[in-house]
Amino acid sequence: MGKITGFMEFQRQEEGYLPPATRLKNYAEFVIPLTNEQAKVQGARCMDCGIPFCNNGCPVNNIIPDWNDLVYRGNYREALDTLHSTNNFPEFTGRICPAPCEAACTLGISEDPVGIKSIEHKIIDEGWEHGWVVPQPAARQTGKKVAVVGSGPAGLAAAQQLARAGHAVTVFEKSDRIGGLLRYGIPDFKMEKSHIDRRIEQMKAEGVVFRTSVLIGKDFPANVNNWAKETIFPEDLEKEFDAVVLAGGAEQPRDLPVPGRELKGVHFAMDFLPQQNKVNAGDKVKDQIKAAGKHVVVIGGGDTGSDCVGTSNRQGAASVTQFELMPMPPEQENKPLVWPYWPTKLRTSSSHDEGCERDWAVATKRLEGKGGKLEKLVACRVEWKDGKMVEVPNSEFEMKADLVFLAMGFVSPVASILDAFGVDKDGRGNAKATTDGEGCYKTSAAKVFAAGDVRRGQSLVVWAIREGRQCARAVDEFLMGSSELPR
């Protein structure tokens, strides 16, 4: 423990943000990381709890008290090794993780929690800056071949762990670039894509082969992005590889079956967001959906909706409104009741701060327009009684809308892909596999494993990394009889 009285002396120090007027001019990241001095002070606030709840609250079980202490002492090199021992990609989580570790921090019971995420961000930035993040190729090859289907955080974590265990790993991705939702869901202003590119280079040097624009499967639904130029059937993949990891995410979007859904101007969030990421990467996008000068309504109050808000504002929308079906949560959680768990409370993202009207307990009844083009949205207020949603009498209202983005989450993975592999599904349509005990991460299909959103349903980057790592160990055990990869 760095400074014994640190938690009493120092306040939480937040990372800085560029002002909205500056950051709205482009799609670049705008968070100003802590300086070395600020990070030292933040590290000094950690109490090195006998039972570090932060470590348990973190899905990858980051060894937080140890690296807090190392940062306090200015030993970034060792802090990086400790951080990498549990997390392959801290530059992703240090930027976009909602930080369940901080909700679990013991200091948070009475004070502001330790700024764990900002310290993680600082450690990995120092690591890259000093050239400490280098390829770690396996000392020897096993001769076994593993195919990873999907290149989001789950697929990448699994691929890196398996390559480091000496297996020949090929990652197949139906998009034209690697990264999954890190690349084509999450906007650049939350995480610039150069962070993914650096990791891909590291992984290539560790022996991982990447094949983009290749769909593994057979049929694919029209309402999910697929830019593949080549298709490989599951049975052909299984012939060539000793094990297959399915890490294709939960891509089937939740639709809004109301009259007028077919009007021009109504889009899934994942039609809109990837286009801007592509444009930022220098691609030409034909008929790009653009919010410039338009009245935008985002339906859905989560992360995806918030990303539509930030992107619409950057494109120059005339107005942006976001509706959520559930009632507005409390501004502050009841700490003694919920700690150390993730609390339900009002969350205002940096995108909301940039300009957005938000409204809760609103249900869309229909969309209306002329000549096939969206013009307005008709909604009503709702109440929740005994778990059931009821319309508030005489509460119907309408608002001008040129664009509506549907950001109501994802129902499941694409069923036809799981079917093509003959993988059993759970009650929610996810690939069925347990996460501990013998046979964990293994699906009902021979030599086929599953990790990340495809197994757990839509979730978080940090959970995808955890599952990718744990799945890699399960595959290694399956191939070799035992494994030295971390659990």
Ligand X SMILES: Cc1cc2nc3c(=O)[nH]c(=O)nc-3n(C[C@H](O)[C@H](O)[C@H](O)COP(=O)(O)OP(=O)(O)OC[C@H]3O[C@@H](n4cnc5c(N)ncnc54)[C@H](O)[C@@H]3O)c2cc1C
**Binding test (CB under 6 A) with ligand X, winner from 45, 122, 167, 174:** 174
Indicate whether 99 belongs to the interface with ligand X (CB under 6 A).
no
Partner whose footprint covers residue 2, from ligand SF4, ligand X, none (CB < 5 to 8 Å by kind): none
Partner whose footprint covers residue 369, from ligand SF4, ligand X, none (CB < 5 to 8 Å by kind): none
The structure tokens 């306040």 sit at: 11
Identify which range of 106-114, 166-174, 422-430, 462-470 contacts ligand SF4 by CB under 6 A: 106-114
Partner whose footprint covers residue 150, from ligand SF4, ligand X, none (CB < 5 to 8 Å by kind): ligand X
Least CB distance to ligand X at residue 455 (A): 8
The encoded tokens of residue 262 equal 């077919």
The structure tokens 């694919």 sit at: 220
Identify which range of 20-28, 34-42, 100-108, 214-222 contacts ligand SF4 by CB under 6 A: 100-108
Contacts of 56 (CB under 8 A, 6+ apart): 104, 340
| CA gap 158, 175 in Å, rounded | 19
| CA gap 335, 332 in Å, rounded | 8
385-411 exposure pattern, b = at least 16 Cβ within 10 A, e = fewer: eeeeeeeeeeeeeeeebbbbbbbbbbb
**Binding test (CB under 6 A) with ligand SF4, winner from 24, 31, 34, 46:** 46
Indicate whether 83 belongs to the interface with ligand X (CB under 6 A).
no
| CA gap 82, 376 in Å, rounded | 53
Indicate whether 252 belongs to the interface with ligand X (CB under 6 A).
no
Indicate whether 170 belongs to the interface with ligand X (CB under 6 A).
no
Indicate whether 186 belongs to the interface with ligand X (CB under 6 A).
yes
Identify which range of 90-98, 101-109, 246-254, 272-280 contacts ligand SF4 by CB under 6 A: 101-109
Tell me how far CA of residue 368 lies from CA of 79, 118, 461, in angstroms.
56, 45, 37
Indicate whether 317 belongs to the interface with ligand X (CB under 6 A).
no
For residue 215, the cross-strand partners are 231
Indicate whether 114 belongs to the interface with ligand SF4 (CB under 6 A).
yes
- The per-residue DSSP string of 438-486 comes to TTTTB-SSTTEEE-THHHH-S--HHHHHHHHHHHHHHHHHHHHSS--S-
- Closer Cβ to ligand SF4, 338 or 389, answer by number: 338
The encoded tokens of residue 327 equal 């009632």
Strands (E), 247-393: 252-253, 266-268, 295-299, 319-323, 357-359, 362-370, 373-385, 388-391
Indicate whether 451 belongs to the interface with ligand SF4 (CB under 6 A).
no
Among 245, 244, 298, 166, residue whose Cα is nearest residue 469: 245
**Footprint of ligand SF4 on residues 324-383 (CB under 6 A)?**
none
Least CB distance to ligand X at residue 148 (A): 9
| CA gap 73, 145 in Å, rounded | 43
Indicate whether 153 belongs to the interface with ligand X (CB under 6 A).
yes
**Footprint of ligand SF4 on residues 415-444 (CB under 6 A)?**
none
Least CB distance to ligand SF4 at residue 80 (A): 18
Least CB distance to ligand X at residue 17 (A): 15
Indicate whether 182 belongs to the interface with ligand SF4 (CB under 6 A).
no
Indicate whether 217 belongs to the interface with ligand X (CB under 6 A).
yes
Indicate whether 54 belongs to the interface with ligand SF4 (CB under 6 A).
yes
| CA gap 228, 383 in Å, rounded | 44
Partner whose footprint covers residue 106, from ligand SF4, ligand X, none (CB < 5 to 8 Å by kind): ligand SF4
451 contacts 471 by C-beta, under 8 angstroms: yes
Indicate whether 118 belongs to the interface with ligand SF4 (CB under 6 A).
no
- Closer Cβ to ligand X, 43 or 310, answer by number: 310
The encoded tokens of residue 54 equal 């932060």
The encoded tokens of residue 30 equal 């705008």
- Closer Cβ to ligand X, 309 or 377, answer by number: 309
**Binding test (CB under 6 A) with ligand SF4, winner from 24, 58, 60, 64:** 64
Indicate whether 162 belongs to the interface with ligand SF4 (CB under 6 A).
no
The encoded tokens of residue 90 equal 């801290």
Indicate whether 460 belongs to the interface with ligand X (CB under 6 A).
yes
Indicate whether 102 belongs to the interface with ligand X (CB under 6 A).
no
3-state secondary structure (DSSP) of residue 139? coil
Among 270, 382, 376, 269, residue whose Cα is nearest residue 324: 382
**Site residues for ligand X per CB under 6 A:** 96-97, 149-155, 172-175, 180-182, 185-186, 190, 215-217, 247-249, 273, 303-304, 307, 417, 452-454, 458-462, 464
Binding site for ligand SF4 (CB under 6 A): 46-49, 52-54, 64-65, 68, 105-107, 114, 116
